Structure 1
């Protein structure tokens, strides 16, 4: 029998960090995401592929940000993750030199881990032989290493975990981090997601699967969630990290609380390896579970940050679920129109955007939405940001394998 929560457990979001195609840091992301300015552009590393554009993190110099001796031992996924974690800790006004590291946990989500390193070293093996494979491969490629490097960098010595639920990974990480705080296993948890998997092989596979937009004549306009003319997603990269604490602990130390994570729900479609269940049953179960966990009624939700991939099937199915659960009331947006689909980091970045929307009372627009699909019968924010009081918000994340994860966010 499922336990029914009778008292809500909120965790405080006291710090956030962002490394995305919209920029490095919260300020750069707010400027670009809330203006609805798309980031997709031609990608020299994808030249010659059926889809030759993507959303890359601009101006990221790992050597300058991390030190060259450190950076050379990491895959780009860990570069992004460590920088985002540092930002989040600084934003939370925490000093790793002063905290009890054994009480600080890390839960990071990813889909593919250090894929680009694995692909590069595999190429060396095939072309030159095993003697040319880097001994660093095994500390760069595995999916656990981003969380490990964050722990080393910040001396966070508590539980150190990685979750991989495809494109739902970031939200899943936040849900598990909240559970660590509720159990008393940690006093602080850094939770989020990271991805840097835009290698030629990965992108060729996604293109062959028909998942990517083929709008090569207009990369900036290719990611267009909920638009009648959408034809697939645009791949992106990056990382996002949230510092989570129990509300009372944040209050005692005088921390600024940006917002609260109040509920988490997860489910499986059990339907198809890559396509969503057309009934939306799994997504609906995850949303309703998050609301029940947060003791929130659907009518109390003012804003939904949708998974909104810009694929024909996802957007139709998800909008139907949103309409069924919430009706026409919530202001819906998909920030993938700006930053593309960050895969395993998507849920975490969108969780940060949801936190900022709740904090600011300002919903970002869905970029490139010029003609709403008539089958999308929800209130999608477009053209410009919408000021509004947000009493509760939901962030949806769904992934290949039919894995769904949803968080509920409430004001500080």
Structure 2
């Protein structure tokens, strides 16, 4: 069994449930169409608690339409989303035959089972300890979704849950690729999940002035790089990929979407929530990803930006991209897909990783919507309103993900040869 760090890692399966669709195909088509997944929330607690933000980007298809009742009962929504996406990804990969000891799972979450935690505490206060559901702790654990996927697939090479805020999903994919390169596994199911559209996270993010307050026009609220942006839109869902060593994938004749060619992981040590304004850590992550992929800035044909729609974050990332890519920046089409999905927190990097994989696979960059006036401090070639065809030849694309705490992750994704 090869254990070389040069072992190539390829993507053979994709799965997702997002504000744009209940699977990858519908999500990708909605993204190409420039569809917004933001909508007004209809929960009673929105008005009862007088929340200052009354909208979010909820999943387009409720998991109760895709899972058995017993599964929804025993899994927090974060776990439900992960299981839906993992099943799609596994089927899309052709249900690989692999020894469980060579199969790993890395499913991240930024917050974990917040719905279970808070609703169970309400049950405890109102009805007493005997009414607390026996599976409360497994359901609220951040590693609960990863464990559920590993049980589903019989994965015994390791089950892991990176928790690095909004960089979690991308870090999971990078960690999974490292598992394969090191020889620990031949196949790893990886990604991120989040289900935090709940009153407390909304109130907390609103108190930080991180959320957009465009309550009267939710579909226009997420506007990365626009000069009138006022914060991000909270989203939810999951994105899961099946990664394999190229050797394993080729031996079974699997379809290959793309290669995870490299990853870069750094930290800012600057502030618990604010990005480094000069973007030094983010730039280093991109440079490390390209170095690991044996690629130069001039090789980059596309970039899916973190671009949350916050006034400070978008300009900091713009600066970091120019530091990382130099003069090559001007010829790189940049997509900010959170303009459509909202911000899926710990699932964002995974869903955007899927967008990046599909962009190089289909050779088309999805659009950024709601950019009426490009911020003059953003010096990027932003793909606005309509998809853009990518150039011919071998493609390398970057997917950026950054998180509270100063986490920076960049993935380098190469088109399949």
Tell whether the structures are fold-level matches, with TM greater than 0.5: yes
Partner of 2:298: 299
Question: Does the aligned pair in 2 maintain the 1:9–1:262 contact within 8 Å?
Answer: no
Q: TM-score, with normalisation over the residues of structure 1?
A: 0.96
CA apart distance, 1:133 = 2.2
Question: Does the aligned pair in 2 maintain the 1:119–1:199 contact within 8 Å?
Answer: no
Report the Cα distance in structure 1 between the residues aligned to 2:22 and 2:297, rounded to whole angstroms: 34
Could you tell me which of 59, 80, 86 is aligned with 2:61?
Answer: 59
Report the Cα distance in structure 2 between the residues aligned to 1:159 and 1:307, rounded to whole angstroms: 28
Partner of 1:3: none
For residues 235-269 of structure 1, the C-alpha deviation after alignment (integer angstroms, 9 at most, x for no partner) is: 00000101000112111111110000000000111
* Worse-superposed segment, 261-270 or 156-165: 156-165
Aligned residue-pair number: 404
Partner of 2:17: 19
| 1:341 and 2:340 matched | no
Partner of 1:90: 91
* Worse-superposed segment, 47-56 or 375-384: 47-56
CA apart distance, 1:8 = 5.0
CA apart distance, 1:59 = 2.6
SS at match of 1:140: helix
Partner of 2:365: 363
For residues 193-224 of structure 1, the C-alpha deviation after alignment (integer angstroms, 9 at most, x for no partner) is: 00001110111000000110011111100000
SS at match of 1:150: helix
CA apart distance, 1:129 = 3.0
CA apart distance, 1:9 = 4.4
Report the Cα distance in structure 1 between the residues aligned to 2:127 and 2:88, rounded to whole angstroms: 40
CA apart distance, 1:151 = 1.2
Spell out the pairing of 1:281-360 with structure 2 (5 A cutoff).
Answer: 281-326=280-325, 327-360=329-362
Kindly report the root-mean-square deviation, in angstroms, between the aligned alpha carbons of the 2 structures: 1.4
Find runs of 4+ consecutive structure 1 residues off by over 3 angstroms.
Answer: 6-9
Question: Does the aligned pair in 1 maintain the 2:63–2:84 contact within 8 Å?
Answer: no
Extract unaligned runs of 5+ from structure 2. Answer: none
Partner of 2:41: 43
| 1:393 and 2:397 matched | yes
CA apart distance, 1:109 = 1.0
Identify if the C-alpha distance between structure 1 residues 28 and 56 changes in structure 2 by more than 3 Å, giving closer, same or farther: same
CA apart distance, 1:66 = 2.2
Report the Cα distance in structure 2 between the residues aligned to 1:402 and 1:324, rounded to whole angstroms: 18
Report the Cα distance in structure 2 between the residues aligned to 1:80 and 1:311, rounded to whole angstroms: 26
Could you tell me which of 397, 402, 407 is aligned with 1:403?
Answer: 407
Spell out the pairing of 1:236-275 with structure 2 (5 A cutoff).
Answer: 236-275=235-274
